[in-house]
Amino acid sequence: MTIATETKAKLPPSKHEFADVIHRLEAGGAMLPDTPENLMQIIGIYKAYAVPMDFYWRDLLYIAERVFLDPFPFFKYFIPKEYLELHNHYAGDDADLRIWRGEATAHPELLEFMEKGETLKMPKLLHHWLHDRVNMEFAEECMRAMLWHGKDMGWGQFDPYLDSEEYIANADKAIKAYFKYNPVMMALYKAFPDLFLEQCRQMSYYSNLGLFWEIMAPVFFEMSDIYDEGGFKGVPDAMNFLVNGIFAIAGRPIYHHVYIRGECYEIIPKSKGFMWLYEAALPYVEAVFYRTSPFRGTKSYNAQAKQVPDHQKDFHYGILYADVFPVGTAGIPPTLLMQDMLHFLPPYLVDYYHQHCRGEDDMLIQLGITFQRSMYCVTSAVIQALRTALLYPLDDPNPKHLQANRAFFEAQIDRFKRPEARLRNIQSHNYR
């Protein structure tokens, strides 16, 4: 608390609409208020998110590295054993940096769910058709958001590289090798090379997101374990774990390798120096948490009436702005994610949802709102990490530096002034 007192002593109170939140950030807190209820909710949902995420990253890498440009990728959601056993680089005994103390292979709860689903043990194909499975469509929507917004986010060197001569030459080698024995596809590639290159760029984003989530899954598992052991005393502790995690793995390489008939084609080699923080995490937060795109089926938009912004940078359809409501129809990515998380909720969170609103009937909405709270915590961690990396310590003795920190916090929070933003809602525990 000394930090807060000192900060307040040096700077006059903020006049920002969300001054309370600014002061909380300046005292080392999160956008989400520090209450035991919030802590319980966000950790519980991290655990429920981490299990399907363990599927997402494995499948994203499988698609990027093996399925690649298959013109009929019917079985792209059927992860082979090899990828289920792929060792996560941040969990298990042989980790590069051990973040989760658990195992490096697919999570046991995931394997159990993949076998039985919500129904019963039956062939994979039936689970797939019945939609009784992990919904990769959500992961792919996130990937597309990154691809689509990649051009103008101003973060990292990944997207510009996709248009470079070097990338096109690397992709060309891989595409030609992939279709070596397929004269029809080869002829199509000759006729429409840009079409194939664009598909290849999309594959590079599959790899990017897969490598990003490979880290987030063990981070969330570890947070859940620490909480179960009584380790986090409040929301700021959980946020600081994320901040430290962001730094610890900032330098993890982001690349795209494709394996064709046993040979590895480095479309984006590790030697480019692309990093988890700049080329994956920051673009991900911008594209997925803030922007995404208006999801089909949730609401109708009239572009002529300016209901859709002219510029992509002004898009605001991410989880931080979402009006969480149940749709119940297929194909709507956020609903699919909620459905995925529903299967892996820790018991304390299920009990909690039973006590409120309509009990089990609206659990999808309640967990969606919990997820929104938890993503405000992750976004807070990103804001604090950026402040640490680019600005000054919260207890900096120089008032000019504190003013620079404040200007940064205020600029970040300005993005939540628009009416759709849920920052105001999450300040109250009654928003569920």
Q: Which residues of the shown chain bind another protein in the complex (CB under 8 A)?
A: 96-97, 155, 157, 243-244, 247-253, 270-275, 278, 282, 386, 388-392, 400-401
CB nearer another protein, residue 208 or residue 370: 208
CA pair distance 168, 134, nearest whole angstrom: 33
CB nearer another protein, residue 271 or residue 329: 271
CB nearer another protein, residue 274 or residue 371: 274
Instruction: Find the shortest distance in angstroms from Cβ 89 to another protein.
Output: 10
Instruction: Find the shortest distance in angstroms from Cβ 245 to another protein.
Output: 8
CB nearer another protein, residue 44 or residue 218: 218
Instruction: Find the shortest distance in angstroms from Cβ 210 to another protein.
Output: 17
DSSP string, 60-103: HHHIIIIITT-SS-TTTTS--HHHHSPPPTTBSTT-SS--BSS-
CB nearer another protein, residue 130 or residue 389: 389
Instruction: Answer yes or no: are the C-beta atoms of 207 and 64 closer than 8 Å.
Output: yes
Instruction: Find the shortest distance in angstroms from Cβ 388 to another protein.
Output: 8
Instruction: Answer yes or no: are the C-beta atoms of 127 and 250 closer than 8 Å.
Output: no
Instruction: Find the shortest distance in angstroms from Cβ 156 to another protein.
Output: 9
Helical (H) or strand (E) element with 267: strand 263-268
E-strand stretches of 313-410: none
Instruction: Find the shortest distance in angstroms from Cβ 421 to another protein.
Output: 24
CB nearer another protein, residue 105 or residue 388: 388
Instruction: Provide the CB-side half-sphere exposure for 397 (13 A, CA).
Output: 0
Instruction: Find the shortest distance in angstroms from Cβ 208 to another protein.
Output: 15
Please count the other Cβ atoms lying within 10 Å of the Cβ belonging to residue 183: 9
CB nearer another protein, residue 157 or residue 298: 157
Instruction: Find the shortest distance in angstroms from Cβ 399 to another protein.
Output: 11
Q: To 5 degrees, how large is the angle CA 104–CA 109–CA 115? A: 110
Instruction: Answer yes or no: are the C-beta atoms of 36 and 428 closer than 8 Å.
Output: no
CA pair distance 257, 397, nearest whole angstrom: 47
SS3 assignment, position 369: helix
CB nearer another protein, residue 55 or residue 155: 155
100 DSSP 8-state letter: B
CB nearer another protein, residue 186 or residue 386: 386
- List 253's β-bridge partners, or say none: 275
Instruction: Answer yes or no: are the C-beta atoms of 301 and 292 closer than 8 Å.
Output: no
Percent helix, strand, coil in the chain, to 5, is 60, 5, 40
b/e per residue, 33-59, with b = 16+ CB within 10 A? bbeeebbbbbbbbbbbbbbbbbbbbbb
CB nearer another protein, residue 251 or residue 359: 251
Instruction: Find the shortest distance in angstroms from Cβ 142 to another protein.
Output: 22
Instruction: Answer yes or no: are the C-beta atoms of 371 and 45 closer than 8 Å.
Output: yes
State phi, psi for 268 to the nearest 5 degrees: -125, 100
Instruction: Find the shortest distance in angstroms from Cβ 233 to another protein.
Output: 19
| Maximum distance among all Cα pairs of the chain, rounded to whole angstroms | 73
